[in-house]
């Protein structure tokens, strides 16, 4: 393998709790209750798709105009970004910084494939931006995960073919997208929740650059 592509939330840092707080508040404002179990469905998918799933839960998907939906999604994002103010370098997940440092030392290009439009801001807060050669702009995508488009674009950003890249994901939608474009899929988390992954680990401390380059 010649390059690495990373999802962001749940792989490099855990901002899921901030997403949950922001979505829960927005849902409550329109009379919908969501819990942490429901929030698991929103991992790895876009802001608009997340909002659609929340509204569908209470048969409100056709109640709002496109303008209202956009305003709701932006309101959620503003709350989420405000919560991100507390994010700091120590919020990088175990083993990630060391893994990125090693990849950088041996010249392995890395890219971000995240549905989050806040990825550049988050990487800056974590002080790891310099480790990445590219970040896929989710506004350029025609389809969200599990479609493989975002992973194909990420490989293009580091001038590699998907089959030359290892993809890291913590959500089933992401694993599906990685496999569908021919990448080697490493799941971060519980194996039973990441079906189809080529390998599943608890965190990056269980991985070495050398073993992945030999795949």
pLDDT one-digit tens code per residue, 12-52: 999 888 989 999 999 999 999 999 889 888 877 888 899 99
pLDDT one-digit tens code per residue, 106-140: 999 999 999 888 999 999 999 999 999 999 999 99
CB 112 within 8 A of CB 91: no
Q: Which of 7, 170, 176, 180 is catalytic?
A: 7
Interhelix angle 47-57/66-83, rounded to 10 degrees, is 110
Q: Which of 9, 170, 176, 180 is catalytic?
A: 9
User: Within 10 Å of residue 146's Cβ, how many Cβ atoms?
Assistant: 18
- Mean pLDDT, residues 49-69 taken together: 92
User: Within 10 Å of residue 142's Cβ, how many Cβ atoms?
Assistant: 6
Assign residue 112 a region: left if phi > 0, alpha if psi is -120 to 50, beta otherwise? beta
pLDDT one-digit tens code per residue, 154-188: 999 999 999 999 999 999 999 999 999 999 999 99
Tokens of 174: 């992401």
Does the annotation count 7 as an active-site position? yes
Does the annotation count 203 as an active-site position? no
What is the C-alpha separation between 43 and 39, in angstroms, rounded? 7
């Amino acid at each position: 393998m010649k390059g690495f592509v990373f999802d962001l939330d749940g792989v490099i840092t855990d901002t899921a709790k901030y997403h949950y707080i922001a979505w829960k508040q927005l849902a409550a404002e329109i009379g919908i209750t969501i819990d942490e179990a429901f929030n698991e469905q929103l991992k790895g998918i876009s802001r608009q798709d997340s909002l659609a799933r929340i509204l569908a839960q209470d048969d409100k998907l056709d109640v709002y105009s496109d303008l209202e939906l956009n305003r709701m999604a932006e309101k959620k994002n503003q709350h989420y970004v405000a919560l991100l103010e507390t994010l700091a370098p120590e919020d990088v997940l175990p083993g990630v910084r060391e893994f990125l440092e090693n990849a950088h030392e041996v010249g392995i290009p890395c890219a971000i494939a995240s549905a989050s439009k806040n990825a550049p801001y988050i990487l800056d807060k974590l002080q790891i931006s310099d480790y990445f050669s590219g970040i896929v702009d989710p506004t350029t995508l025609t389809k969200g995960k599990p479609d493989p488009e975002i992973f194909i674009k990420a490989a293009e950003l580091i001038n590699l073919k998907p089959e030359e890249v290892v993809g890291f994901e913590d959500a089933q939608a992401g694993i599906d997208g990685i496999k569908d474009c021919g990448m080697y899929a490493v799941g971060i988390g519980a194996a039973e929740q990441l079906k189809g992954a080529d390998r599943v680990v608890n965190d990056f401390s269980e991985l070495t650059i050398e073993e992945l380059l030999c795949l």
